Amino acid sequence: MTGTSRGGLFGDLFGRGAADASDAAWLRAMLDTEAALARAVEQAGLAPPGSGAAVTTIARADFFDNRALGEAAALTGNPIPALVRALTERLPESAAGAAVAVHRGATSQDIIDTAAMLVARTALDVILADLSAAAGSCAAHATEHANTVMSGRTLLQQAVPVTFGLLAAGWLTAIDEARENLYQVRTARLAVQFGGAAGTLASLGDAGPRVAVLLGEELDLPVPVMPWHTNRQRIIEIAAALAGTCAALGKIARDVTLLAQTEVAEVREAAVAGRGGSSVMPHKQNPVAAIAILGCTKQTPGLLATVTSAAEQEHQRAAGAWHSEWLPLSQLLTLTGSAASWTAELLSGLQIDPPRMHANLESTHGLPLSENLAGVLSPVLGRLQAHDLLAKASARSATNNISLSDAIYADARSAAILTDAGLTRSDVESALRPESYLGATAEFISRALAAHADLEATLRE
């Protein structure tokens, strides 16, 4: 799945992977829906025997012209009327009686909404597979680098130490939460749409609910309590789960771009021949995968907003709001699929540089550990005196480019205060060791890995 090309000028960036919500995918889904409806109608006794098979035989995407259907859509507001006409006309004379099964009882929105469920289901399966691969790489990094100490950074400045394993565990948890949401949507929120002109199935008489059940069975989609023509919660939930996934993937990509900066250089993407170059700077090795992920994920909030704003729909069928969902939903599926595909590749080949992490941490001369040292000094010196001593020593450290320990003992009064308090230089330097101030890091990593294992077991059931 990872690496499949979509084609086009930007397709390999924003349409990477196999999550397909293209016009071709929509056409296949519409035809599958029409064919399933014909079979359901026949099973309900509303069409001659063989009608379902006859319609199914001709409901092949290669028999239809998307361009022509699109041109006709401009006349009717959607492509279904033209599709139904073309489908009916393709029936051979020997199966002319099957025409009664084509589009029986349905309205255009029934076909398009149900097709949307089919397109989403197929795309979500691909996205979930790529997310599973990405999560697996995160779990491996969290395990391997559980004790690889690096600078924690808040507000883009070095803070207290963390480990790369903790960072990877955070990525893992975010991906797994996104997977859970997508899986919930995939298994519980996709459903058949079948309500007829105004949600009553009046044209089918008493057989309407039976046909809906049979249609659901044919497509392996649940049948909802009632048609949802103007209740767009399902569409919003799909879109929100996709946007949430992109938020998780975008955070990973942003971390990688920051950690891969020349001056930081704590991680780098795997080398791929021809990738990462600049049009004018031969030396460049840009983090292309991370950049492409961000290019995908930054488009999704606006698309989600469009889908959400379209949810206010009037009476029994909307004028325009429903129509406005089609492209944003398709783009959300495509962009999330692309981001997931890129992320799976990025994380599988991500190169981590522990010596560089150590060097960057050392370059701060122990200042990020001042909080830990304050915790050691406060019980014996008092909180205020400990704070004042460390504030002055930190200033000397920064000014003179020396370690915090050297800065403390460079001041005779500070050294005397510590000696009188029974604190040795060894005590001070122990408190300035990054490994001594990792708090619950190990436990948090273990929790993330355990939760990941539980999710894997659940999704395999």
The catalytic residues are 278, 317
> Strand pairing partners for 161?
151
Q: How far is residue 257 CA from its own chain's centroid?
A: 18
Nearest-angstrom CA–CA distance, 254 and 168: 13
The residue type of 254 is R
Return the SS3 of 348.
Answer: helix
Return the SS3 of 321.
Answer: coil
Pairing mode, if any, of strands 351-352 and 267-268?
Answer: antiparallel
Nearest-angstrom CA–CA distance, 58 and 34: 11
* Residue appearing with tokens 């101030």: 437
Return the SS3 of 247.
Answer: helix
Nearest-angstrom CA–CA distance, 51 and 88: 11
Nearest-angstrom CA–CA distance, 230 and 154: 45
DSSP symbol at 91:
S
Burial class from Cβ neighbours inside 10 Å (0-12, 13-18, 19+) for residue 47 reads: buried
